[in-house]
Amino acid sequence: MKKITFILILFSLHSFLFCQNIKPKYDIDFDNKWEWNQLFDRANNEDTFKDIQKLKRILSINNARFVFYQLSRLAHPKDIKELGEIEKNQSKWGGGFYGIIPAHFSNIGSIPQPLDFNNLIKTALYLAEVRSENYKFISNSNFDYPIKFSNNKFPNLTESRISPNLHLELDFSVIEDLLKIFNKNKITFEDAQHLVSDKIFSEMLKHRRELGYIPEPLPDSTDLARFIFHAASKEPLDEIWKWLNPWNDFCLSDLYVLQNEYKTLLKTLMSHNQTITNHILSRISLFLPDDIYFSDRLSFAVNWGIRSWTTENTLGTNIVQFKDDYDKMFRTLTHETFHRVQLKLCPVDSIRNNKRSFEDLVYHDFPAKEDQIFYETLSYIMLEGTATFVGGIDDKWKEKEKILEGKRLLEQIVHEVYAEHNFENSAKLLNQGLKSNGPFYALGYFMSKTIVKELGEREIGLLLKEGCISFFKKYIEILDNGTYTKDLKFSLYIIEKMNKVNAFF
């Protein structure tokens, strides 16, 4: 009896260890190409057959081969639950989506485990539906994010006279380094940290922190190194994570999954380097006095949710938000480069000791906080509006609608500041006006367009040198002397506050 009991215990222990350590066999070689009929032939019940039909409707054969291959590589079926931890870490490291895309793996118990063939199909279908939902969210979001490359040809770029005092260099080194890392079979976390030590990344993250409207947590250099490390990883769960959403791993998933297309894009951009810089500088030259000297470097990187950034020290742009949409890319590059020129042009309060950041450009040492907030609002409208006009806009931009919304927001801010003294609300309204090419871009764009139409391109550079009050007063003067509709004119209350602020200069 004791012998039988011992054998049963031994058999149970062996079975437990077998279940824990031996991968299930699915009777299909997922390491090689297979066809849908092989899955249908293997289905042994109606539910599995229907799940395969659903899967076929959602995924191409290549995507299906990819996900089954990665699932078959898992050390154990239960490892699929670790997607919940990956999702949680992504948010903790500052790469979450703030509700734009839901957390799919917060209830980890709902994920089927690929314990056998039937459950393998259920797992693949679950992941395919998550991926499909993610791509729908991205397509319908306000980020204007291209999911795929469009196979656009490089355009014929116009260029005219370039001021000899303007110089620009395009820097592709970060993208080159990332693509090289992705091509390696394995990297260390130290490799990722070394790459992140580049000044381009530190300034990019600094800009993100200083925007003011992105919720915490905000990524630091260690977090970004984690994203790079996982984006370069060839482990099956990391591969699945990148496949599920191009925004994962701080958008590095996009660069990884479509790396062949990005290599081609990079080669195209580098071969047209001088043509691109000439196009940007010739456009900017139209608006500047000849005595302005400008020399800068524009770096390409990856930065989830932000198309481009300008700091006191650097100028950068996010390649994944353009792909091969060259028109949008060159409009944005011109826009952001002009922001750097503004740092040279615009007046700065002497109390700032001639510092040159955007925070300095929008500041003046007024006795009353209300006047400072008003001046800051006017400054941002001028800065973003002139840069948008110089860079150009998409033909689909609903200009009039956005202009009137910008004007309404400005009036609301003036009311909140001067009548209600509600500085918290005014800050929210300012962010609303500036967020994601918001209404203040459109209002400032129309003001710039109106001034150029009446006085020529050079007037923009001259008004920037004088500051936002001169910019607004010139616009008001043009509207008063022209045949413009009443809805485009500022209220007497705003003009009164503008005159009050102007008295301090």
Q: What is the DSSP letter of 99?
A: T
Give the chain's residues under pLDDT 70: 1-22
Q: Any residues with CB less than 8 A from the CB of 135 and at least 6 apart, and which? A: 147, 245
Q: What does the buried/exposed string (b/e) look like for 149-160 if buried means 16 or more CB atoms within 10 Å of the residue's CB?
A: eeeeeeeeeebe
Q: By the 8 A CB rule, do 81 and 108 touch?
A: yes
Q: What is the pLDDT of residue 121?
A: 98
Continuous H helices in 140-285: 173-182, 189-196, 199-210, 221-232, 236-244, 252-257, 259-271, 273-285
- Asked if 475 contacts 451 with a C-beta cutoff of 8 angstroms, the reply is yes
3-state SS class at 433? helix
Find the radius of gyration of the CA atoms of the chain.
28
108: left (phi over 0), alpha (psi -120 to 50) or beta: alpha
**pLDDT of amino acid 8:** 42
Write down the pLDDT at residue 266: 98
Q: How many CB atoms within 10 Å of residue 169?
A: 11
Q: Are 182 and 256 in contact (CB under 8 A)?
A: yes
Q: Report yes or no: 365 and 349 within 8 Å, Cβ to Cβ.
A: yes
10 Å Cβ neighbour count for 347?
Answer: 16
Helix (H) or strand (E) holding 328: helix 326-345
- Tens digits of residue pLDDT in 436-476: 788 999 999 999 999 999 999 999 999 999 999 999 999 99
Q: Which two tokens stand for residue 57?
A: 């409707």
In sequence order, the 6+-apart residues with CB closer than 8 A to the CB of 498 are 378, 469, 472, 473
**DSSP symbol at 106:** S
- The residue count of the chain comes to 505
297 in Cβ contact with 289 (< 8 Å) = no
Q: Are 22 and 116 in contact (CB under 8 A)?
A: no
* CA atoms of 498 and 411, how far apart (whole Å): 12
Q: In the sheet that 166-171 helps form, which strands lie side by side, from edge to edge? A: 166-171, 294-301, 315-318, 308-310
| Number of neighbours of residue 191 by Cβ within 10 angstroms | 17
Say how far apart CA 58 and CA 35 lie, in whole Å.
15
- Exposure string over 27-40, b if 16+ CB within 10 A, otherwise e: ebebeeebeeeebe
- Phi, psi dihedral angles at 318 (to 5 degrees): -100, 105
- Count, in order, helices (H) and strands (E) of the chain: 23, 4
CA distance 304 to 233: 19
Q: What is the three-class DSSP state of 309?
A: strand
Cα–Cα separations (whole angstroms), residue 208 to 193, 205, 434: 19, 5, 14
Residue 454 has what pLDDT? Answer: 96
d(CA 136, CA 257): 18
Task: Show Cβ contacts of residue 200 under 8 Å, excluding neighbours closer than 6 positions.
Answer: 171, 173, 174, 299, 301, 314, 316
Q: Which residues have a Cβ under 8 Å from the Cβ of 492 and sit 6 or more positions away? A: none
- Chain segment 295-318, per-residue pLDDT in tens: 999 999 999 999 999 887 889 999
Cβ atoms of residues 81 and 113 within 8 Å: yes
What's the whole-model pTM score?
0.90
Angle of helix 399-414 versus helix 439-455 axis, rounded to 10: 110
The region that residue 203 occupies, defined by phi over 0 for left and psi between -120 and 50 for alpha, beta otherwise, is alpha
DSSP assigned state of 157 = -
pLDDT of residue 7: 41
Closest among 471, 454, 265, 314 to 387, alpha carbons compared? 471
- pLDDT score for 224: 98
Cβ neighbors of 13 (< 8 A, separation 6 or more) are none
Of all residues in the chain, what percent are helix, strand and coil, respectively (each to 5)? 65, 5, 30
pLDDT of 22 reads 62
Taking the C-alpha atoms of residue 141 and residue 91, their distance in angstroms, rounded to an integer, is 19
Q: Report the percent of the chain where pLDDT is more than 90.
A: 81
Helix (H) or strand (E) holding 168: strand 166-171
Please, which residues bridge with residue 315 across strands? 298, 310
**Torsion region of 417: left, alpha or beta (phi above 0 gives left; psi -120 to 50 gives alpha):** alpha
